[in-house]
Structure 1
Amino acid sequence: MPADTVVLAVAIALVLVALALAVIGLGTLWWIGVQLLMLPGIVVHEFAHKRACDLVGVPVLEVAYFRFGDPSGYVRHVQPERYRQSFVISVAPFLVNTIVSLAVFFGFAVLVTTVTESPVSFELLADLETVSSDVLVLAAVLGWLGIAVGMQAFPSTGDANTLWARSRAEWRRSPIVLVGVPVVLVIYVANLLSWLWADVLYAVGLAVIAFYAVGLLLP
């Protein structure tokens, strides 16, 4: 084989290796960046699980409010004795994250009203051009927190698996647990639709509600 061909083959191989390393590196950086952006929502989500355990009297064994891993956070607790305890623990993040996200977005919307009373339009964008950098930074932080917390409102597939297992095991003894089956299905569907940005749309929907409440969106 000619020396030029060998050199060319080695060069191509090195380029392919460099590209592979670059892709892997960029992928890792992207993953870390997404985890950091979602950090507030993950913390609130796991905090809701923890507080729910405390409220229904289920001992907690270990808590990780945030970590770089899979999952990004978790609450390990003893097996609840009653179905209602499992139900409360599983759905708590949906309620808590939704309320916190709405409150943050409401604060964001109120902040905007201190700058202008115009509804969302090109006039509002023009008014924002005169806003101080401090207000813009605060608005950006509130917007980030609202989106991050709202996106983490959906219970995980693990929560749905827990409820489904309890429903299957206990419905003959206590048919009332069948009430939780639709909730399990909704959780599964919500997690499936997350691939289609359903979690993002949910968070944006909460922002729309907050903006509408303060009159920044026309009816």
Structure 2
Amino acid sequence: MFFVPGIIVSVVTFPGVIIHELAHQIFCRLMRVPVYEVKYFQFSNPCGYVLHEATQDPLKTFLISTGPFLINTLIGMIILSPAAIDLIIFKDYSNPLNLLLGWIGFSALMHAFPSTGDAKVLVNNILKNKNVNVLVKLIVAPVIGLIYVGAIGSVVWLDAIYAAAIAMIIPNLFLLF
């Protein structure tokens, strides 16, 4: 394994950063939580962010924080699938559209994991909130743990491993049927 600074990875995979932040914004809108500022991409840390009104509703907090996992995974799979089928099954490397779709889809998948900032919001608004039911806390706590594992794991390319694994699902299902 080799180390590449996160900012460089984010610059190379900027479509995924944009989709990640758009997912946060979409869930804010769906949950009717006001958004104050959005930065889809910038050349500094953090590479993107969504500033929104704080909410004490555990469901809203959970969906806004974890929304990028769902959206980036779905969009990544949808965009990457045709390219992955052509590249993996038919070995067609000559179509530049496949390479473009592959890059965008893989970028989306690499940025599916919520950030540690998202985990901190879940900790503060759900785990530390005395008004939240213990059962809800028990359900959310492992998710927070997985977010931290994903963040720490990105140092050893866990985000790229996740993207590659998801990228292989559709072509392999295609082969099965």
Q: TM-score, normalised by structure 1?
A: 0.72
For residues 146 and 172 of structure 1, do their structure 2 counterparts lie closer, same or farther at Cα, with a shift above 3 Å needed?
same
1:18 is aligned to none
Are the structure 2 counterparts of residues 172 and 77 from structure 1 closer, same or farther at C-alpha, using a change threshold of 3 Å? closer
Amino acid of the structure 2 residue aligned with 1:204: A
Moved over 4 A (4+): 30-33
Please state how far the C-alpha of 1:143 moved relative to its aligned partner: 1.3
Alpha-carbon distance, 1:31 to partner: 7.2
* Structure richer in helix, relative to its length: 1
Once the two structures are superposed, the pairs formed by residues 46-195 of structure 1 within 5 Å of their partners are 46-112=21-87, 120=89, 125=91, 128=92, 133=94, 135=95, 137-171=96-130, 173-178=132-137, 179-195=139-155
1:202 is matched with: 162
Counterparts of 2:102 and 2:113 in 1: how far apart (Å)? 19
Q: Provide closer, same or farther for how the CA distance between residues 81 and 109 of structure 1 changes in structure 2, counting only shifts above 3 A.
A: same
Matched pairs, number: 172
Task: Pick which of 61-70 and 169-178 moved more.
Answer: 169-178
- Structure 1 gap segments, 5+ residues each: 1-29, 113-118
CA distance in 2: counterparts of 1:110 and 1:147, whole angstroms = 14
Larger radius of gyration: 1
Q: Which residue of 2 aligns with 1:26?
A: none
With over 3 angstroms needed to count, the CA separation of the structure-2 counterparts of 1:59 and 1:66, relative to structure 1, is same
Counterpart-to-counterpart distance in 1, 2:108 and 2:151: 16
- Three-state SS of the structure 1 residue aligned to 2:55 is coil
TM-score, normalised by the number of residues in structure 2: 0.88
**Unpaired runs of 5+ in structure 2?**
none
Q: Distance in 1 between matches of 2:136 and 2:30?
A: 20
